[in-house]
């Protein structure tokens, strides 16, 4: 890597390689005004990502094929944020068709409805393209949902595996990050150590849909062969995908 010439910004290379807030400078004993305003804007974007409702109709329109819509037992956003346990349960009276399919894909709002709205359809399509020979249940859109809601959905649909595409907790540099959580033999009571996660799906600054789908598809194939997911299943792909 070339060393910046005298007079050049010595932090320019690092800033170009990360979305992290580095080398912000100073004005007296505080941040420069521009950096302070950027921080406040990023904080507002993160708050908006958490509290903005998922546009279910728009998301359904961007998905191919039959789409089922479910809700968790949390009746509203405030309850969802205060009661994580309710976000892991289906709303009372929810019924889903038993499909006996190999896989269910759940698109859940999570802590960033923006993330699943923007990246969910692209990742779902890329994943299904990479699973020839797998039968896939109708896509499911879930609101006020935590990751574990996929266990209840997968059990009701009677599938062998479930992948939950869910909005991750926003940060100051990433309000639209999507995570993919894979669970083999889903059923209520599964714990986090029985899942595999691929996170930070948010092109162009995070994983691309193709990179994430390649990894999840490989994990699904491994889970089918092993009959398990989570700590028993290792990701044998490259630690830092290229491209």
d(CA 130, CA 241): 17
Report residue 134 as tokens: 């797998």
pTM: 0.85
Report residue 45 as tokens: 């974007």
Is the separation of the CB atoms in 117 and 63 below 8 Å? no
d(CA 106, CA 145): 10
In this prediction, residue 7 has a pLDDT band, given cuts at 50, 70 and 90, of low
| pLDDT 10s digits, 66-121 | 999 999 999 999 999 999 999 999 999 999 999 999 999 999 999 999 999 999 99
**Cis peptide leading into residue 85 (ω within 30°):** no
Q: Which residues pair with 179 in a beta bridge?
A: 166
Q: What is the pLDDT of residue 231?
A: 94
Is the separation of the CB atoms in 111 and 168 below 8 Å? yes
Q: Which of 7-21, 86-100, 130-144, 209-223 has the lowest mean pLDDT?
A: 7-21
Is the separation of the CB atoms in 123 and 202 below 8 Å? no
- As a residue count, the chain comes to 243
For tokens 């948010």, what's the residue? 202
Give the DSSP H/E element, type plus range, for residue 143: strand 139-143
């Amino acid at each position: 890597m070339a060393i910046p010439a005298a007079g050049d910004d010595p932090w320019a290379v690092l800033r170009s390689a990360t979305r992290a807030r580095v080398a912000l400078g100073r004005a007296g004993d505080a941040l420069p005004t521009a950096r302070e305003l950027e921080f406040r804007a990023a904080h507002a974007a993160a708050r908006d990502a958490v509290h903005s409702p998922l546009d279910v109709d728009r998301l359904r329109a961007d998905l191919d094929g039959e789409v089922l819509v479910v809700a968790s037992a949390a009746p509203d956003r405030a309850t969802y944020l205060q009661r994580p346990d309710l976000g892991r349960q289906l709303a009372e009276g929810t019924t889903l068709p038993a499909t006996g399919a190999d896989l269910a894909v759940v698109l859940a709002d999570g802590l960033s409805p923006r993330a699943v709205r923007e990246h969910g359809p692209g990742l779902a399509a890329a994943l299904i393209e990479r699973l020839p020979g797998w039968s896939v249940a109708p896509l499911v859109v879930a609101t006020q949902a935590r990751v574990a809601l996929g266990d209840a959905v997968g059990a009701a649909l009677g599938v062998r595996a479930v992948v939950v595409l869910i909005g991750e907790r926003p940060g100051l540099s990433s309000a639209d990050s999507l995570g993919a959580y894979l669970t083999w033999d889903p059923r209520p009571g599964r714990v986090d150590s029985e899942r595999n996660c691929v996170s930070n799906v948010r092109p162009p600054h995070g994983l691309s849909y193709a990179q994430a789908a390649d990894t999840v598809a490989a994990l699904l194939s491994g889970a089918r062969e092993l009959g398990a997911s989570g700590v028993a299943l290792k990701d044998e792909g490259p630690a830092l995908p290229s491209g």
